[in-house]
């Protein structure tokens, strides 16, 4: 199983959108690689419809989606056609899944990414999420059990937080969303700590020398991130 900051394990897979060379096909982009337990299952269907409806929103932030499961390519195609032709979820109908869904019957990809957890199932992947940056490094790992659908607003929030950290050199506090105050790097010297605590660093507010924040307007963030 890869760890945060490791290079994303490489693979070549057949998908509903053709051959995928991962992660090289996505060089320069952020990628969400996610697994699901099985085609033609209700929780997975709700998730794929949600991801499909959010595809363009993720692309605003230079982020592509790639799904994977241990089902075969023909099953994938039939399932995505069923989603498009028959499914109605939250009022969404005729939902077309345009991102690739990888055939992983061999479990090669699932094993490389630690998606098979025998306590849940020895033959199906859990609901794993890997957020991978434009350099091909793993930046976030999330796991959900078979029974629990993912929180897609949180996945998008994490993408924005990671990109904000990279762009502005800050950290983001608990429950942060664009427009809220961000955390500036801790003071590295006594002099900087003294200046911050005495209010000499413009725009920086400190609860204590190691916990300092500043404003970062939402439009500043959105303008920067959506240009990438």
Query: What residue spans define the domains of the chain?
Result: 11-150, 169-225
Looking at the domain covering 169-225, what would its CATH class be? alpha beta
Three-state secondary-structure class, residue 205: strand
* CB atoms closer than 10 angstroms to residue 30: 20
The values of phi and psi at residue 129, to 5°, are -130, 125
At 116 the pLDDT is 87
Q: How many angstroms separate the Cα of 223 from the Cα of each of 96, 106, 209, 216, 218?
A: 29, 43, 31, 12, 8
Q: Per-residue pLDDT tens for 25-40? A: 999 999 999 999 999 9
Residue 228's pLDDT is 61
As a whole number of angstroms, the distance between CA 212 and CA 209 comes to 7
CA distance 75 to 40: 9
Please give the radius of gyration of the chain, using alpha carbons only, rounded to the nearest integer: 20
**Sheet strand arrangement including 30-35:** 18-22, 11-15, 101-103, 63-69, 30-35, 127-132, 138-144
The answer to whether 127 is annotated as binding is yes
Residues belonging to the chain = 228
Catalytic-residue membership of 206: no
pTM of the model: 0.94
Q: From the candidates 8, 44, 80, 225, which is the catalytic residue?
A: 44
**pLDDT tens, per residue, the chain with 228 residues:** 899 999 999 999 999 999 999 999 999 999 999 999 999 999 999 999 999 999 999 999 999 999 999 999 999 999 999 999 999 999 999 999 999 999 999 999 999 999 988 888 777 788 999 999 999 999 999 999 989 999 999 999 999 999 999 999 999 999 999 999 999 998 888 888 888 888 877 889 999 989 999 999 999 999 999 976
CATH architecture of 11-150: 3-Layer(aba) Sandwich (3.40)
Expressed in angstroms, the distance from the first to the final Cα of the chain is 29
């Amino acid at each position: 199983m890869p760890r945060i900051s490791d290079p994303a394990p490489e693979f070549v897979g057949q998908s509903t959108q053709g051959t995928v060379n991962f992660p090289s096909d996505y060089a320069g982009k952020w990628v969400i690689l996610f697994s699901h337990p099985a085609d033609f299952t209700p929780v997975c269907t709700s998730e794929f419809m949600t991801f499909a409806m959010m595809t363009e929103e993720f692309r605003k932030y230079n982020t592509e989606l790639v799904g994977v499961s241990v089902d075969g390519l023909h099953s994938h195609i039939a399932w995505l056609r069923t989603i498009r032709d028959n499914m109605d979820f939250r009022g969404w109908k005729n939902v077309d899944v345009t991102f690739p869904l990888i055939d992983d019957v061999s479990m090669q990809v699932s094993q490389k990414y630690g998606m098979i957890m025998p306590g849940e199932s020895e033959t199906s992947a859990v609901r794993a999420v890997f957020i991978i940056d434009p350099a091909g490094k793993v930046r976030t790992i999330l796991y959900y059990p078979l029974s629990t659908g993912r929180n897609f607003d949180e996945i998008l929030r994490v993408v924005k937080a990671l990109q904000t950290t990279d762009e502005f050199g800050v950290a983001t506090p608990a429950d942060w969303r664009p427009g809220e105050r961000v955390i500036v790097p801790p003071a590295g010297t006594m002099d900087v700590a003294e200046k911050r605590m005495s209010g000499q660093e413009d725009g920086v507010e400190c609860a204590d020398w190691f916990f300092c924040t500043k404003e970062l307007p939402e439009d500043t963030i959105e303008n920067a991130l959506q240009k990438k």
